Structure 1
Amino acid sequence: MLMRVSAAAPALAQPASSTARLAWLDALRGIGALAVVAEHLLPWFLPDLRPYWFNLGVYGILVFFLVSGYIIPTSLERHGDVRAFWISRIFRLYPLYLSVIVLVLTLAWWVPVRGEVPRDGSAVAAHATMLLDVVSVGGVADTMWTLSYEMVFYLLVTALFLAGGHQRSGQLSMVFAAGAVVVGLVASGAVLVGGWPAYVSAGVFAAGLACVMWGRARTAAACLLGLMALAALLLSSRVPWLGTAVLAVMFAGTAIHRWERGAGGLWPVAVTTALVAIAPLWAIESGWWWVQADVWLTTIALAGATFAGAMALRGRRLPRILVWLGLVSYSLYLVHHPLLKYFVEITGDLRQADLPYQVAMAALALAVVLGVSALAYRFIERPGQALGRRLSGRDARGLQRRADPGVAGQDPGDDGVLRHQEGEVPDGVGDHVGQDDVVR
Structure 2
Amino acid sequence: MTKAVDVVTDSAESVEGKALARGGRFEFLDALRGLAALAVVIGHCGERLWPEYARFSSSYFGAGMFGVFVFFIVSGFIIPASLERGRSLGAFWVGRFFRLFPLFWGCLIAAMILHSVGRFSLQPGFLADPAWHILTNATMAQFFLGAPNTQVIGAAWTLAYELAFYLFVSLLFLGGLNRRSVPLAVLAIGSIVAALFLPVAMVNGPESSLASRLMVVVATVAIAVFFARRAVERRSAVAAVLLASIAVPLVLNQPGPSAYSATIFATMFVGTVLYRMTAGEISSRLGWTIFGFAACVILGFKFVVEQPHLDPATGAWIPWWKEAVTMVCAYLLFAAALLLRRYSFPRPLLFLGRISFSLYLMHALVLGAIDPWKTSVLGISAAWLTWGTWVIGSIALATLTYHTIEKPFHNLGRRLMDKMDARARPVATPVV
**Class of the TM-score when normalised by the shorter of the 2 chains:** 0.7 to 0.9
Distance 1:193 1:21, change over 3 A: closer
Q: Does 1:68 align with 2:79?
A: no
More divergent stretch after superposition (128-137 vs 310-319): 128-137
Gaps of 5+ in 1: 1-12, 209-214, 398-440
Q: Which one of the candidate residues 243, 265, 268 is aligned to 2:261? A: 243
**Aligned mates of 1:87, 1:230 — CA distance in 2:** 22
Conserved 8 A contact 1:133-1:148:
yes
Alignment of 1:97-136 (within 5 A): 97-109=104-116, 110=118, 111-117=120-126, 119=129, 122-136=132-146
Q: 1:23 offset after TM fit, Å?
A: 0.8
Gaps of 5+ in 2: 1-15, 225-232, 423-432
Q: 1:315 offset after TM fit, Å?
A: 2.5
Conserved 8 A contact 1:70-1:257:
yes
Distance 1:262 1:46, change over 3 A: same
More divergent stretch after superposition (232-241 vs 363-372): 232-241
Q: Which one of the candidate residues 301, 306, 331 is aligned to 1:304? A: 331
Q: 1:79 offset after TM fit, Å?
A: 2.7
**Aligned mates of 2:391, 2:264 — CA distance in 1:** 28
Q: Deviations over 1:193-221 (max 9, x none)?
A: 25999xx99xx9xxx9xxxxxx9723332
**Aligned mates of 1:166, 1:251 — CA distance in 2:** 11
Q: Which one of the candidate residues 324, 329, 337 is aligned to 2:351? A: 324
User: Which amino acid in structure 1 is aligned with residue 48 of structure 2?
Assistant: W
Identity across the alignment (%): 30
Q: 1:21 offset after TM fit, Å?
A: 6.2
Conserved 8 A contact 1:169-1:255:
yes
| Secondary structure at the counterpart of residue 108 of structure 1 | helix
Q: 1:263 offset after TM fit, Å?
A: 1.9
**Aligned mates of 1:39, 1:394 — CA distance in 2:** 42
TM-score by length of 1: 0.75
Q: 1:252 offset after TM fit, Å?
A: 0.4
Q: 1:379 offset after TM fit, Å?
A: 0.2
What's the counterpart of residue 416 of structure 1? none
User: Which amino acid in structure 2 is aligned with residue 237 of structure 1?
Assistant: P
**Aligned mates of 1:270, 1:24 — CA distance in 2:** 21
User: Which amino acid in structure 2 is aligned with residue 378 of structure 1?
Assistant: H
**Aligned mates of 1:335, 1:103 — CA distance in 2:** 10
What's the counterpart of residue 164 of structure 1? 176
Structure of higher RCO (CA pairs closer than 8 Å, 6+ residues apart): 1
Conserved 8 A contact 2:205-2:255:
no
Conserved 8 A contact 1:82-1:158:
yes
Distance 1:295 1:233, change over 3 A: same
Conserved 8 A contact 1:27-1:322:
yes
What's the counterpart of residue 372 of structure 1? 397
Q: 1:222 offset after TM fit, Å?
A: 2.9
Q: Does 1:88 align with 2:103?
A: no
Distance 1:64 1:394, change over 3 A: farther
Conserved 8 A contact 2:95-2:414:
yes
Conserved 8 A contact 1:54-1:299:
yes
Alignment of 1:27-426 (within 5 A): 27-49=31-53, 51-52=56-57, 53-109=60-116, 110=118, 111-117=120-126, 119=129, 122-137=132-147, 138-183=150-195, 185-187=196-198, 189-193=200-204, 217-226=235-244, 228-264=246-282, 265-266=286-287, 267-280=289-302, 282=305, 284=307, 292-344=319-371, 347=373, 356-393=381-418
| Secondary structure at the counterpart of residue 412 of structure 2 | helix
Conserved 8 A contact 1:114-1:140:
yes
Q: 1:317 offset after TM fit, Å?
A: 1.8
Q: 1:162 offset after TM fit, Å?
A: 1.2
**Aligned mates of 2:400, 2:251 — CA distance in 1:** 34
TM-score by length of 2: 0.76
Q: 1:328 offset after TM fit, Å?
A: 0.3
Distance 1:366 1:380, change over 3 A: same
**Aligned mates of 1:300, 1:175 — CA distance in 2:** 19
